[in-house]
A and B are shown apart, each in its own frame.
Chain A
Amino acid sequence: MGKVVEISPTTRHEGRSKLVLQVDDEGIITVGNWISVTPVRGLEKAVLGKPMEQVPKLLSRVCGICPVAHALAAVEAIETSIGVEIPADAHTLRVILHCANRLNNHALSNIFTLPDLYIPGTDRKINLFSPEEPMRSIARRIQRIREIAQGITEIAGGEAIHPTNTRIGGMYYNITSRAKQKLTDLAKEAVDIVKTQMDFMIAVLRNFQRRDWTEIGGRQIPIPRNLGYHSEGYLATDSLYGTSSRTSVQSWDPDHLREIRPWNFYMGEVTIDLEDSTYPIGGTTAAGTVVHPKREATNAIPLYNGRPVEVGPRARMALYQGFNEKGTIGQQVARQMEYMTDVHEILNRLDTLNTSGKVLTDPIPPGDGKTLAWATTEPARGTNVHFVRVREGKVADYSMIVPTTWNFPVCSKALSGAPWQLAEVIIRGYDPCVSCATHMIVLDPDKNVVAQNLIR
Chain B
Amino acid sequence: MAAPLGQYKMVLFARTTDKEILRGAQNGGIVTALLSYALDTGIIDGAVVAAPSRSKPWRGKFDPWRSEPIVAMTRDQLLSARKTGYNISPNVMMIKEATRSYGLDRVGIVGVPCQIQGVRKAQLYPIGMRGVPDKIALVIGIYCMEVFPYQSIVQIVEDHGGVKMESVEKIEIGKGNFTVVTERGRTIQIPLNETRDLEQPGCHVCLDYAATLADISTGSAGSPAGWSTVFIRTKIGDEVWKRAMQAGLFETKPIGQVEPGLGAVEKLAVEKITRNKKTLEDRDFIGTKGLRNPYITT
Does A155 contact B103, Cβ atoms closer than 8 Å?
A: yes
A174 within 8 A of B: yes
CB distance from B204 to the nearest CB of A (A): 33
Q: In the complex, what residues of A have CB within 8 A of residue B130's CB?
A: 154, 159-161
B164 within 8 A of A: no
Q: In the complex, what residues of B have CB within 8 A of residue A155's CB?
A: 100-101, 103
CB distance from A156 to the nearest CB of B (A): 8
Point out which of B46, B99, B100, B102 has the most chain A C-beta atoms below 10 A from its C-beta.
B100
A448 within 8 A of B: no
Residue of B nearest to A171 (CB): B101
CB distance from A417 to the nearest CB of B (A): 45
Contact with B along A147-164 (1 / 0, CB 8 A): 000000011101111000
Does B100 contact A178, Cβ atoms closer than 8 Å?
A: no
Given that A160-B131, A178-B73 are contacting pairs, would A183 and B103 also be in contact in the complex, using a CB cutoff of 8 Å?
yes
Does A175 contact B101, Cβ atoms closer than 8 Å?
A: yes
Does A175 contact B103, Cβ atoms closer than 8 Å?
A: yes
* Complex CA–CA separation, A165 to B102 (angstroms): 13
Does A165 contact B103, Cβ atoms closer than 8 Å?
A: no
A182 within 8 A of B: yes
A173 within 8 A of B: yes
Q: In the complex, what residues of A have CB within 8 A of residue B103's CB?
A: 155, 175-176, 178-183
CB distance from B127 to the nearest CB of A (A): 12
Q: Report the interface size class on chain A.
A: 10 to 19
Does A173 contact B101, Cβ atoms closer than 8 Å?
A: yes
Residue of A nearest to B96 (CB): A158
Tell me what chain B mostly uses at the interface: helix, strand, loop, or mixed: loop
* Complex CA–CA separation, A174 to B100 (angstroms): 10
Does B104 contact A154, Cβ atoms closer than 8 Å?
A: no
Q: In the complex, what residues of B have CB within 8 A of residue A161's CB?
A: 130
Does A173 contact B104, Cβ atoms closer than 8 Å?
A: no
Residue of B nearest to A157 (CB): B100
Residue of A nearest to B45 (CB): A178
Residue of B nearest to A178 (CB): B103
* Complex CA–CA separation, A165 to B103 (angstroms): 14
Q: Report the interface size class on chain B.
A: 10 to 19
CB distance from B34 to the nearest CB of A (A): 21
Q: In the complex, what residues of B have CB within 8 A of residue A176's CB?
A: 73, 101-103
Q: In the complex, what residues of B have CB within 8 A of residue A174's CB?
A: 101
* Complex CA–CA separation, A155 to B97 (angstroms): 9
CB distance from A361 to the nearest CB of B (A): 18
* Complex CA–CA separation, A156 to B101 (angstroms): 6
Does A178 contact B102, Cβ atoms closer than 8 Å?
A: yes
Q: In the complex, what residues of B have CB within 8 A of residue A158's CB?
A: 97, 100-101
Residue of B nearest to A182 (CB): B103
Point out which of B103, B104, B130 has the most chain A C-beta atoms below 10 A from its C-beta.
B103
Does A179 contact B131, Cβ atoms closer than 8 Å?
A: no
Partner of A173, one of B46, B73, B97: B97
Q: In the complex, what residues of A have CB within 8 A of residue B99's CB?
A: 154
* Complex CA–CA separation, A324 to B97 (angstroms): 45
* Complex CA–CA separation, A295 to B73 (angstroms): 60
* A159-207 with Cβ < 8 A to chain B: 159-161, 165, 173-176, 178-183
* Complex CA–CA separation, A293 to B31 (angstroms): 67
* Complex CA–CA separation, A161 to B131 (angstroms): 12
* B93-139 with Cβ < 8 A to chain A: 97, 99-105, 130-131
**Interchain residue pairs with CB less than 8 A apart (11):** A154-B130, A165-B101, A175-B101, A175-B102, A176-B73, A176-B101, A176-B102, A176-B103, A178-B46, A179-B103, A183-B103
* 6 closest Cβ pairs, A-B complex: A179-B103, A182-B103, A173-B101, A175-B101, A178-B103, A176-B102
Give A residues with C-beta under 8 Å from B: 154-156, 158-161, 165, 173-176, 178-183
Apart from the given pairs A176-B102, A178-B102, A182-B103, 6 other A-B contacts in the complex at a CB distance below 8 Å: A154-B131, A165-B101, A176-B101, A178-B103, A182-B105, A183-B103
